[in-house]
Amino acid sequence: MDAGNFENWLEVVFRRRAIALKVGAVVITVAVALTLLTPPLYESTAKVLIQDNRAQLLVSPGLQNNNPNQPSALSNPVTEQDLNFERDLLVRSYLVAQALTGLRLPQANFGPAGAVRKALRALVDLPAAGYRALHGAPEQSI
């Protein structure tokens, strides 16, 4: 790009800065309005494959390699009840919540510096909180 051509563009922008600022403000306003007024849409898919032919490995100090009398793996068929139990463990949010109930998050916001950090974090999170309140979206978890 020629330096003279670039200077001409800069001159046009500076001469017409009021129009450029108005156009920029309109574009940003429309983008913010569309972002706030459009409801959130979350979509996820997953495929969980559970095998019913698992082998249980035998681990023992007395187990010797390549001994035909002592197999190193047993093949026990998995029942329908076992598969249903695994499926329940994967899809139940109640079980996950129960597992996480006893855990405490580290508290690093002590003293005046922690109070300032919490205030700044609340200020930064204010637009997201307003968006969640506007659309009734749940608060994000960790």
Instruction: Indicate left, alpha or beta for 136 from its phi (over 0: left) and psi (-120 to 50: alpha).
Output: left
- pLDDT for the residue numbered 28: 95
Instruction: Indicate left, alpha or beta for 106 from its phi (over 0: left) and psi (-120 to 50: alpha).
Output: beta
Phi, psi of 132 (to 5 degrees): -65, -40
Q: Which residue has the tokens 């920029």?
A: 24
How many other β-carbons are positioned within 10 Å of the β-carbon of residue 29?
10
Could you tell me the pTM of the whole model?
Answer: 0.34
Average pLDDT for runs of 10 along the chain of length 142 = 79 86 94 86 71 57 56 64 78 75 67 80 86 80 62
> Distance of CA 131 to CAs 4, 40, 43, 100, 127, Å?
46, 9, 18, 27, 6
